[in-house]
């Protein structure tokens, strides 16, 4: 495989700041796709997209934001069959929510983005993100026993 | 300063700002609105506790989803030739070992200096003195403050990857105990490096955590021992998790028995109940 050449600081940034957050992106991707294979594809596409504009990622105050944003943008292109892999109880809980709602609750309460960062990730006004978050948290508490 | 809030419908406001309410980050007016939305009296407290428990369970369930080593390497390969990566890692390990050797030599020098001073003192006053026991609270409280004040070069493994930290501590040569690693931390707390301190009388594994949002750090120390080695203190119990708390004017310390022969201390500027909550959450795995 041909590897593009990058400045050493860009390589270090990619490995130390982005690759170390790959699991967080994978969890967000799983929350959206509910399928571990689709989630992996989503992560690969997100990283490939961020590599094309590493400068923007380096300027971000939280490096997870551009990765998560690229993951959300990749989601419609990898949508396959849902409900494959991992904890079936988690899948059952997630299935009770729309993609926007489970994405919001996992982004904020699962992987630690702020509501403002999550709104940027999902390209939606913060007010709408907060409404989705409220819905997700209600369902999370109601379905707590499933986890 | 209280957080600015958005104008949401009453039914959504309480849930949308619940964590900020629980952290005391809302104005009194917004806080009252959350309480009203959740129900009068103890209802708000109960819902808050249920939410925190559910969020913890969600985070634990999500911990089960992670990429395999070969999948992460595939991502590395997008930007870095695998052969170059191996070379750089070897260089990093060599640099890390050099730092470790320097650190050990420095500690050894300090210990020798102290030992020499002690021998001189004994000789001077003709009074025999016994060896001091390992005072974990004093030593590790001091280490936490020093690592905060001058963090440069104090951690031999500067990484944010908890699996790398676990592997490093598990394979550390000469440890007489299996270090306990908190795999799950709430909110924006992220691992920020690891180290093994060699005091001669005891080896101590330390994992540093950082919270970029709070701009705070905390440290998880683990070493061979039991609670009986520590001074008696207030005992806390939460959902079967038993711990003891200590505090100084700058730090709070929560101690618990993380394994039958391993004692853990979590040291930071957060409140003792919050530190205990982190210890409990991290101990559930």
Contact A144 B62 (CB under 8 A): no
Whether B178 and B276 map to the same domain: the answer is yes
pLDDT at A145: 64
Q: By CA distance, what is B160's nearest residue in A?
A: A20
- For residue B47, the enclosing domain spans 10-63
Contact B75 A62 (CB under 8 A): no
For chain B, what is the mean pLDDT? 86
- For residue A35, the enclosing domain spans 8-146
Residue carrying structure tokens 């911990």: B63
Q: Euclidean distance between the first and final Cα of chain B, in Å?
A: 36
pLDDT at B285 over 70: no
Counting the structural domains of chain B, the total is 3
pTM of the predicted model as reported, rounded to 2 decimal places: 0.56
Separation of CA A2 from chain center: 27
| Angstrom distance (rounded) from CA A139 to CA A132 | 11
Chain B (245-284) residues lying within 8 Å, Cβ to Cβ, of chain A: none
Whether B111 and B191 map to the same domain: the answer is no
The minimum CA-CA distance between B18 and chain A, rounded to whole Å, is: 9
Contact B16 A36 (CB under 8 A): no
Task: Say what the ipTM of the complex is.
Answer: 0.91
Confidence band of B129 (pLDDT split at 50, 70, 90): very low
Counting the structural domains of chain A, the total is 1
Contact A111 B62 (CB under 8 A): yes
Asked whether residue B41 is assigned to any structural domain, the reply reads yes
Contacts of B48 in chain A (CB under 8 A): none
The minimum CA-CA distance between A26 and chain B, rounded to whole Å, is: 7
| Angstrom distance (rounded) from CA A70 to CA A109 | 19
Domain boundary among B114, B131, B148: B131
Asked whether residue A49 is assigned to any structural domain, the reply reads yes
Asked whether residue A113 is assigned to any structural domain, the reply reads yes
Segment B230-248, tens digit of pLDDT: 988 888 888 788 999 998 8
Contact A43 B188 (CB under 8 A): no
Distances (CA, A) of A31 to A70, B47, B57: 15, 24, 15
- Stretch B164-184: mean pLDDT: 86
Contacts of B47 in chain A (CB under 8 A): 141
Asked whether residue B195 is assigned to any structural domain, the reply reads yes
Two structure tokens written together for B133 = 């026991």
From A92-96, B190-194, B279-283, the region with the lowest mean pLDDT: B279-283
Contact B65 A27 (CB under 8 A): yes
pLDDT at B131: 45
| Angstrom distance (rounded) from CA B186 to CA B276 | 12
| Angstrom distance (rounded) from CA B138 to CA B230 | 11
Whether B149 and B102 map to the same domain: the answer is no
pLDDT at A88 over 80: no
The minimum CA-CA distance between A127 and chain B, rounded to whole Å, is: 6
Closest CA to A23 of B146, B244, B34, B190: B190
| Angstrom distance (rounded) from CA B63 to CA A129 | 24
CA angle A100-A106-A107, nearest 5°?
A: 85
Whether B34 and B150 map to the same domain: the answer is no
pLDDT at B85 over 70: no
pLDDT at B38 over 90: no
- For residue A63, give the CATH number of its domain: 1.20.140.160
- Stretch B147-167: mean pLDDT: 86
């Amino acid at each position: 495989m041909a590897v593009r050449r990058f400045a050493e600081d860009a390589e270090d940034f990619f490995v130390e700041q982005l690759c170390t957050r790959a699991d967080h992106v994978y969890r967000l991707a799983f929350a959206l796709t509910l399928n571990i294979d689709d989630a992996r594809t989503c992560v690969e596409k997100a990283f490939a997209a961020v590599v094309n504009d590493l400068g923007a990622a380096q300027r971000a105050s939280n490096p997870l934001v551009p990765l998560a944003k690229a993951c959300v943008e990749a989601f419609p292109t990898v949508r396959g069959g849902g409900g494959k892999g991992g904890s079936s109880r988690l899948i059952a809980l997630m299935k009770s929510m729309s993609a926007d709602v489970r994405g919001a609750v996992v982004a904020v309460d699962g992987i630690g983005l702020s509501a403002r960062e999550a709104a940027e990730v999902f390209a939606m006004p913060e007010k709408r993100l907060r409404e989705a978050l409220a819905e997700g948290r209600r369902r999370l508490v109601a379905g707590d026993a499933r986890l | 300063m209280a957080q600015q809030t958005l104008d949401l419908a009453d039914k959504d406001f309480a849930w949308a700002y619940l964590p900020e309410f629980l952290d005391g980050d809302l104005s009194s007016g917004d806080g009252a609105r959350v309480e009203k939305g959740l129900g009068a009296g103890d209802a708000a407290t109960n819902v808050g506790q249920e939410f925190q428990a559910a969020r913890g369970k969600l985070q634990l369930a999500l911990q089960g989803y992670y990429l395999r080593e070969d999948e992460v390497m595939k991502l590395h390969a997008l930007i870095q030739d695998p052969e170059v990566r191996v070379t750089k890692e070897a260089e990093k390990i060599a640099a890390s070992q050099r730092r470790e050797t320097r650190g050990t030599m420095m500690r050894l020098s300090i210990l020798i200096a102290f030992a020499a001073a002690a021998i001189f003192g004994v000789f001077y006053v003709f009074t025999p003195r016994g060896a001091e026991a390992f005072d974990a609270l004093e030593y590790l409280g001091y280490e936490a403050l020093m690592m905060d004040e001058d963090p440069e070069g104090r951690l031999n493994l500067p990484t944010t990857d908890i699996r790398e930290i676990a592997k490093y501590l598990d394979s550390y040569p000469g440890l007489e105990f299996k270090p306990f690693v908190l795999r799950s931390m709430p909110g924006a707390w992220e691992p920020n490096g690891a180290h093994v301190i060699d005091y001669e009388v005891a080896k101590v594994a330390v994992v540093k955590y950082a919270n970029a949002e709070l701009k705070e750090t905390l440290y998880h120390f683990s070493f061979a021992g039991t609670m009986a080695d520590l001074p008696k203190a207030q005992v806390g119990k939460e959902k079967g998790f038993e711990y003891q708390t200590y505090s100084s004017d700058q730090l709070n310390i929560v101690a618990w028995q993380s394994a039958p022969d391993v004692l853990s201390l979590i040291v930071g500027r957060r409140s003792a109940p919050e530190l205990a909550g982190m210890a409990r959450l991290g101990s559930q795995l």
